[in-house]
A and B are shown apart, each in its own frame.
Chain A
Amino acid sequence: MASLSYASAIKIAAREMRSSRGKFFFVILSVAIGVAALTGVRGFSSSFRGALLTRARSIMAGDLAARMFQQITPEQQKGLDQIAAEGVEITPVTELLSMASSPKTLDPLLVSLKAVDPNKYPFYGKVDLEPADALSAQLREDTVVVADDLLVRLHLKVSDQLTVGSKVFRITSVVTNEPDRLSGNFQAGPRVLISRKGLQDSGLLAPGSHAGQRYLFKVPPPRNGAPISESAVADLKLRLEKLLPEAQVTDYRETNPALTQGLDRATSLLSLMSLVALVLGAIGVAMAMRAHLQQRLDTIAIMKSLGARSGQIIKIYVLQTLLLGVAGGLLGVALGAAVQLAFPILLAKFINVPTEIHLQWRTTLTGLGAGVLTTLLFTLPPLLDIRGVRPILIFRRAVEDNDDPFVTAIVRKITKNYAQIGAGVLILIGLAAIATTLSDSATVGKVFSIGLVIVLAVLLAASAAVLAALRFFLSRTRLQLPSSLRHGLANLYRPGNPSAALLAAVGMGVMQIMTVYLVQQAVVSELHIASAPDLPNVFLIDITTEEIDGVRSLLTAQPGVTIAPELLPVVTSRIIAINGVPASEVKLTNFPRRMLQSINLTWSATPPPGTKLSAGKWWSSESTAPQVAIAKRQADRLGVKVGSNITFAAQDHQIVATVAALTEADGQHAFSRAEFVLPQPVLAGLPVVWYGGVHADPTKVELLQRALYKAYPTVTVINVAAALETVRTVVIQITYVIQFLSAFSIFAGVVILASSIAGTRYRRIREVVVMKTLGATRSRIATVFSIEFAVLGLVAGLVGVGFANLIARVLLHRLDIVYHFQWVWTFAALAGTAGLTVVTGWAASHRILGQKPLEVLREE
Chain B
Amino acid sequence: MSEATTLGQSIPSMIVVEGLRKSIRNGPRTVDILKGIDFTVPQGEFVAIMGASGSGKSTLLGLLAGLDTPSAGNVHLNGVAISYLAEDKLAQVRGKTIGFVFQSYQLIPTLTALENVLLPHELNSDSKDAAAGMARSRDLLTSVGLGDRLDHYPVQLSGGEQQRVALARAFVLRPPIVLADEPTGNLDSTNGAHVLELLLHLNRTEGTTLVLVTHDPVLATYANRRIVLRDGLVVADEVNANPAGLAETATVAS
Contact = CB atoms under 8 A, between A and B. Distances in A.
A104 interface: no
B58 interface: yes
B169 interface: yes
Nearest to B179: A773
Contact of A858 (B58, B93, B110, B134): B58
A684 interface: no
Interface stretch (B115-123, B188-196, B202-210, B227-235): B115-123
B104 interface: yes
Contacts of B67: 772-773, 852-854, 857
B68 A773 contact: no
B108 A770 contact: yes
Interface string A401-418: 100000000000000000
A226 interface: no
Contacts of A767: 108-109
Interface in B64-87: 65, 67-69, 87
A490 B111 contact: yes
Nearest to A486: B115
A398 B98 CA distance: 26
Contacts of A774: 94-95, 100, 119-120, 123, 169
A766 interface: yes
A382 to B, nearest CB: 20
Given A774-B119, A775-B123, A852-B68, A399 B155 contact: yes
Contacts of A620: none
Contacts of A780: 123
A184 to B, nearest CB: 75
B134 A854 contact: no
Interface stretch (A127-135, A491-499, A717-725): A491-499
A668 B155 CA distance: 71
A494 B93 CA distance: 28
B90 to A, nearest CB: 8
A403 to B, nearest CB: 8
Nearest to B88: A777
B179 to A, nearest CB: 9
B96 interface: yes
Contacts of B87: 772, 778, 850
A450 interface: no
A779 interface: yes
B80 to A, nearest CB: 14
B69 A773 contact: no
Contacts of B95: 774-776
Contacts of A778: 87-88, 91
Contact of A777 (B91, B108, B153): B91
Contacts of A553: none
B40 interface: no
Given A772-B94, A773-B65, A778-B88, A494 B109 contact: yes
Which of A397, A398, A492, A778: most chain B CB closer than 10 A? A398
Contact of A487 (B98, B111, B134): B111
A306 interface: no
Contact of A860 (B68, B104, B115): B104
Nearest to B62: A854
Nearest to A496: B109
B142 interface: no
A486 B118 CA distance: 12
B39 interface: no
A397 B163 CA distance: 14
B99 to A, nearest CB: 9
Given A397-B104, A766-B106, A775-B91, A490 B69 contact: no
- Is the contact region of chain A dominated by helix, strand, or loop, or is it mixed? helix
Contacts of B153: 401, 495
Contacts of A230: none
A766 B108 CA distance: 9
A854 B123 contact: no
B88 A487 contact: no
B110 A490 contact: yes
A771 B58 contact: no
A490 B115 CA distance: 10
B62 A853 contact: yes
Contacts of A399: 109, 155
A299 interface: no
Nearest to A494: B110
Nearest to A490: B110
Contact of B92 (A495, A769, A777, A858): A777
B18 to A, nearest CB: 19
Contact of A398 (B63, B91, B103, B154): B154
Contacts of A852: 67-69
B224 interface: no
A837 to B, nearest CB: 18
Nearest to A395: B186
A483 interface: yes
Contacts of A766: 106
Nearest to A403: B156
Interface in B110-150: 110-111, 115, 118-120, 122-124, 134
Contact of B96 (A401, A775, A779, A850): A775
Given A774-B95, A775-B96, A860 B123 contact: no
A622 interface: no
B88 A495 contact: no
A772 B119 CA distance: 11
B219 to A, nearest CB: 19
B55 interface: no
B123 A857 contact: no
Contact of A853 (B68, B88, B93, B103): B68
A776 B91 contact: yes
A855 interface: yes
A479 interface: yes
Interface of A: 397-401, 478-479, 483, 486-487, 490-495, 766-767, 769-780, 850, 852-855, 857-858, 860
Given A398-B154, A770-B106, 5 more contacts: A495-B155, A777-B91, A777-B92, A854-B63, A855-B68
19 contacts: A397-B104, A400-B155, A478-B115, A486-B115, A487-B110, A490-B111, A490-B115, A494-B110, A495-B110, A495-B153, A767-B108, A771-B108, A774-B95, A774-B169, A777-B88, A852-B68, A854-B68, A858-B58, A858-B62
